[in-house]
């Protein structure tokens, strides 16, 4: 008896997570069927992926991209455009990998869950900004979120020891590990001179530019605290961050009896991607494999919250709830974009976000329209603050 292969939609196919997902699919030939892909303006890369995997549907950002792509693929390939196109593709497969960068990934998250799909989520911003809305969408029969982020994927595995009751009362706390980024141990004086090249040089992970900059400010870890709270329905007061420079322990769960369960592997994002694709089974591979016959050092330390105030901003946004996390994420996106464009100093990234958050007035988040409006307001305020920069 033959069984149909699970179909996969890979949205954000040309980015770091996207290309590593393709590596996983290549290693498992015949196990999955890639039916839909989407990307930014790298239409040549999208066309190459479509030819290799015989993909029938492709999403692009704009009509101009569609015109270019149409000349590179066969006539039987369906090309869709914009956020509506992304949402359409997100309902087109059994497993949806959301590797779209930033708030633009929200339509994918909502559409996949609304269609009752398995969502392999690498787009933390959409979950953080829209946590109350995502919570409702997750109630759709069949809908499930599996986190691709290495830390949250680790927690998902470590929570297998929990009885799974709402709020996980048998869990004392989640311990999110952080590499410390490229600026671990830097003094405030040295941080003031940090360059774009310094910030993009991550010591252990190979990631896209946005998440690499977020790692350098520890905003990425702050956003992950919010993400963990939303994913596992655990209050942020039960989520701690610990710096672990080796990036071998990807996160831990401490239970009420003092037992701590950890997930270990060498840093390789293909492992959590494969985990999300393969459940309820595990794919046979060796990504992240550790040789315990060789010396292995594991060290842990507190994060320097004074040098990296992004953590405090994230915890504050979580406590305020409502649209505060959406403002945090939106303002950070704007500030990071400005830094990557050499329009802002590294030390002013988090300062810009803090200035935006100082203007936030508590506002509940009741609808997608509320979210879009709040996102736009936070971005406008961030741009206004940037214009005042010397």
Q: Which residue has the tokens 């702050």?
A: 222
- Neighbouring C-alpha atoms within 13 Å toward the C-beta of 4: 6
Q: What are phi and psi of 42, to 5 degrees?
A: -85, 65
The rounded distance, in Å, linking the Cα atoms of 309 and 68 is 44
Q: Are residues 164 and 140 in the same domain?
A: no
Please check whether residues 242 and 101 belong to one and the same domain.
no
Q: Are residues 207 and 117 in the same domain?
A: no
The two three-digit tokens of residue 35, written as one number: 């039916």
Residues 274, 153: Cα–Cα separation, whole Å = 11
Same domain, 77 and 185: no
- pLDDT at position 204: 73
Answer yes or no: do 113 and 205 share one domain.
no
Classify 255 in phi/psi space as left (phi over 0), alpha (psi -120 to 50) or beta: beta
CA distances for 30 relative to 282, 370, 376, angstroms: 15, 43, 43
What rounded mean pLDDT belongs to the chain? 93
Q: Tell which of 120, 147, 174 closes a domain.
A: 147
Give tens-digit pLDDT for 314-325.
Answer: 999 999 999 999
Residues 93 and 125 in one domain: yes
* Same-domain pairing of 126 and 13: yes
Whether residue 360 lies inside any domain: the answer is: no
Residue 4 has pLDDT above 80, yes or no: no
Last-in-domain residue among 274, 295, 320: 320
Which of residues 147, 171, 186 is at a domain's end? 147
Same domain, 272 and 195: yes
Q: Which residues pair with 263 in a beta bridge?
A: 251
Residue 314: which of 301, 324, 303, 306 has the closest Cα? 324
> Do 31 and 173 share a domain, yes or no?
no
Any domain includes 335? no
Q: Enumerate helices (H) and strands (E) in the chain, giving the number of each.
A: 17, 11
Instruction: Using CB atoms within 10 Å of the CB of residue 192, give its burial: 0 to 12 exposed, 13 to 18 middle, 19+ buried.
Output: exposed
Same domain (yes/no): 113, 217: no
Is residue 374 assigned to a domain?
A: no
Which CATH number does the domain housing residue 135 bear?
Answer: 3.40.50.720
First-last CA distance in the chain: 69
- Say if 388 falls within a structural domain: no
201 contacts: CB under 8 Å, gap ≥ 6: 182
389 part of a folded domain:
no
The number of distinct structural domains making up the chain is 2
**2 has pLDDT over 50:** no
> Where residue 360 falls among pLDDT bands split at 50, 70, 90?
very high
Torsion, CA 208, CA 370, CA 228, CA 361, rounded to 10: 100
Helix (H) / strand (E) containing 267 = none
Residue 371 in any domain: the answer is: no
How do strand 7-11 and strand 33-38 relate by DSSP bridges?
parallel
CA distances from 61 to 80, 224, 253, 295, 320 (A): 9, 27, 40, 48, 34
Res. 1: pLDDT tops 60: no
What's the 3-state SS for 101-149? CHHHHHHHHHHHHHCCCEEEECCHHHHHHCHHHHHHHCCCCCCEEEECC
- What range does the domain containing 208 cover? 154-320
pLDDT band at 126 (very low <50, low <70, confident <90, very high): confident
Average pLDDT over residues 319-336: 94
Does residue 80 contact residue 57 with C-beta atoms inside 8 Å? yes
Residues 177 and 95 placed together within one structural domain of the fold: no
- Separation of alpha carbons 96 and 107, rounded Å: 12
Percentage of the chain with pLDDT > 70? 98
The CA-atom distances, in angstroms, between 113 and each of 80, 93, 166, 249 are: 20, 12, 20, 30
pLDDT digits (tens, 9 = 90+) for 137-150: 999 999 999 999 99
Q: Mean pLDDT throughout 19-29? A: 95
Any domain includes 333: no
Q: Is there a single domain that holds both residue 85 and residue 50?
A: yes
pLDDT given at position 125: 81
330 domain-assigned: no
């Amino acid at each position: 008896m033959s069984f149909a292969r699970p179909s996969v939609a890979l949205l954000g196919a040309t980015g770091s997570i996207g290309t590593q997902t393709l590596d996983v699919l290549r290693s498992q030939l015949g196990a999955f069927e890639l039916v839909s892909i989407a990307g930014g303006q790298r239409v040549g890369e999208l066309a190459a992926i479509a030819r290799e995997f015989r993909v029938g549907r492709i999403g692009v950002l704009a009509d101009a991209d569609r015109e270019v792509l149409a000349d590179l693929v066969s006539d039987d390939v369906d090309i869709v455009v914009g956020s509506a196109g992304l949402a359409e593709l997100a309902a087109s497969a059994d497993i949806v990998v959301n590797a779209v960068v930033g708030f633009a990934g929200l339509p994918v998250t909502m559409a996949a869950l609304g269609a009752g799909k398995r969502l392999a989520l690498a787009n933390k911003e959409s979950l953080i900004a829209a946590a109350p809305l995502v919570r409702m969408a997750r109630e759709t029969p069949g809908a499930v979120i599996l986190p691709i982020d290495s830390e949250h994927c680790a927690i998902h595995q470590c929570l297998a020891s929990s009885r799974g009751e709402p709020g996980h009362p048998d869990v004392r706390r989640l311990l999110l590990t952080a590499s410390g980024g490229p600026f671990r141990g830097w003094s405030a004086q040295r941080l003031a001179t940090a360059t774009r090249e310094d910030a993009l040089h991550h010591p252990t992970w190979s990631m896209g530019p946005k998440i690499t900059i977020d790692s350098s400010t520890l905003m990425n870890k702050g956003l992950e605290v919010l993400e963990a709270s939303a994913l596992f329905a655990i209050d942020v007061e039960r989520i701690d961050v610990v710096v672990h420079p080796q990036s071998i322990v990807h996160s831990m769960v401490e239970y009420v009896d003092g037992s701590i369960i950890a997930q270990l592997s060498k840093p390789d994002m293909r492992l959590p991607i494969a985990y999300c694709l393969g459940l309820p089974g595990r794919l046979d591979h060796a990504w992240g494999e550790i040789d315990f016959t060789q010396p292995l050092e594991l060290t842990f330390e507190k994060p320097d919250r004074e040098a990296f105030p992004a953590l405090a901003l994230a915890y504050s946004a979580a406590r305020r709830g409502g649209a505060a996390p959406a403002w945090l994420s939106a303002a950070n996106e704007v500030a990071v974009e400005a830094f990557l464009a050499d329009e802002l100093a590294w030390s002013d990234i988090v300062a810009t976000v803090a200035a935006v958050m100082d203007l936030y007035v508590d506002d509940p988040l009741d609808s997608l329209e509320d979210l879009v409006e709040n996102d736009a307001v936070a971005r406008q305020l961030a741009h206004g603050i940037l214009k005042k920069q010397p």
